[in-house]
Amino acid sequence: MNITIIGTSNVGLVTGACFSKMGNKVYCVDIIEEKIENLKNNILPIFEPQLDGIVEISQERGDLIFTTDIKEALDNTDIIFITVGTPMADDGSANLDYVFDAARDIANNITHDSLVVVKSTVPVGTCFEVKEEIESILNENDSDVKIRIASNPEFLKEGSAVNDCLHPDRIVIGAEEDEVFEIMRDLYSSFVLNHERFIFMDIKSSEMTKYVANAMLATKISFMNEISNICEATGANIQNVRIGIGSDKRIGYDFIYAGCGYGGSCLPKDVQALINTAKCNGYEPKIISNVEIVNEKQKMKLAEKIVKRFGDNLTGLTFAVWGLSFKPYTNDVREATSLVVIPELIKKGAKIKAYDSHAVQEFMNALDDIYLDSIEFADNRYDAVDGCDALILITEWKEFRSPDFDLLSEKLNQKIIFDGRNIYDRKIENKGFELYQIGC
């Protein structure tokens, strides 16, 4: 099939690359010329395992085309995906400006009947509004082009997005016509040859499904983080509690790890957007309204533990930080715990030596310039701890899971570790380390 993808950030780039890997011809459209030129030269705006190889090979085959010319793309395709961002507005709602910009661009350039698929995460009812916007402009232009609309929310986890796209655990399609369901089934058939994974539903339910999925995951994380705080207060161990409840098949082990808070572009904004949707429809949500409150407080837990250990004045102390991205296998630092903990320590007089294999530049771009003079960025994990008074683990990259503790003993001024992801065994205390974890 021939496909147009509007938007080349995380979702659009991964989706377009994976469709092209399956032999489809894909036009990826963006308005940023520099971004498109970089993509043509295999310079990607994001780090995502496997993605660079797929982009390079698909371009060489001619199956993946990056362009700023939306008319060229629409002239040669019949299925159009809107994958632009929907960032959080000041009131917590989803900012749909980019979605409707894309809708207007489609309406002003489309020349034949097509299917428009909204993959961006949007509030309930948005797909119908997009259709109305396109049809209104088509009528103004005296065009006889007909469009159909579908919702196809993405469920791509940063750090494993390519694998999630190529091997989906479900493909949710929202539509109002049987023919649209069949088109989408044909499009995705190569991804699900060995198992039926389609879930067909109405458009509004499809839009809601994406928000509810992320809100549920966020709720599980915040719930366990709150329980970890109760464990600390009572002397229980969250690690034992996690195993005890995870063995219950009704609960399971996924997303019940205590830590120093979640981040990223999806969970925080989608929780807020769902809260906003509920309130706009006359319902006051009780549970999800507190999910983000718990999460924001959790991001301060490491700083609080450090202050409790060293005192409120951290002048003269240097802390090593391992991990800046909000999760492993991505360079994304949006809503990352590092952006909370590091400024808090600097404000109390500390110096920082930080290491992350992929997210340093993004972290520097996101952080207020007033803090950068107090941070030294190391080229490897052991250089980061050299001469520091404690190690703070924020992101659980695999290279941090089994370090050389003897070498850490030599390089650290004080053998102290603040483990924000509970990845270290307390046996290291037998080597003289002080180990501070979450909920245990």
- Cβ–Cβ under 8 Å, residues 306 and 392: yes
Q: Taking the CB of residue 378, how many other CB atoms lie within 10 A of it?
A: 18
Contacts of 281 (CB under 8 A, 6+ apart): none
Q: Could you say which of 266, 280, 388, 440 is catalytic?
A: 266
Q: Output the pLDDT for position 436.
A: 98
Burial label for 60, CB within 10 Å (0-12, 13-18, 19+), is: exposed
Q: Output the pLDDT for position 433.
A: 97
Task: Quote the CA–CA distance of 140 and 264 in Å, as a whole number.
Answer: 40
Contacts of 430 (CB under 8 A, 6+ apart): none
What residue has token string 């399956």?
Answer: 22
Q: Which helix (H) or strand (E) holds 90?
A: none
Q: What is the CATH number of domain 299-436?
A: 3.40.50.720
Task: Quote the CA–CA distance of 111 and 129 in Å, as a whole number.
Answer: 21
Going from N- to C-terminal start, the domains of the chain cover 2-201, 211-297, 299-436
Long-range CB contacts (within 8 A, 24+) of 284-292: 287/219, 288/215, 288/218, 288/219, 290/222, 291/215, 291/218, 291/219, 291/222, 292/218, 292/222, 292/268
pTM above 0.85, yes or no: yes
Instruction: Output the tens digit of pLDDT for each of the chain's 440 residues.
Output: 999 999 999 999 999 999 999 999 999 999 999 999 999 999 999 999 999 999 999 999 999 999 999 999 999 999 999 999 999 898 889 999 999 999 999 999 999 999 999 999 999 999 999 999 999 999 999 999 999 999 999 999 999 999 999 999 999 999 999 999 999 999 999 999 877 899 999 999 999 999 999 999 999 999 999 999 999 999 999 999 999 999 999 999 999 999 999 999 899 999 999 999 999 999 999 999 999 999 999 999 999 999 999 999 999 999 999 999 999 999 999 999 999 999 999 999 999 999 999 999 999 999 999 999 999 999 999 999 999 999 999 999 999 999 999 999 999 999 999 999 999 999 999 999 999 999 98
Q: Same topology for domains 2-201 and 211-297, yes or no?
A: no
**Architecture in CATH of 2-201:** 3-Layer(aba) Sandwich (3.40)
Q: Output the pLDDT for position 90.
A: 86
**Domain at 211-297, CATH class:** mainly alpha
**DSSP of 4-22:** EEE--SHHHHHHHHHHHHT
Q: Taking the CB of residue 157, how many other CB atoms lie within 10 A of it?
A: 15
Contacts of 17 (CB under 8 A, 6+ apart): 26, 51, 54, 55, 58, 64, 162
**DSSP of 396-407:** --GGGTS--HHH
Tokens of 311: 């005192």
Tell me whether residue 127 is one of the annotated catalytic residues: no
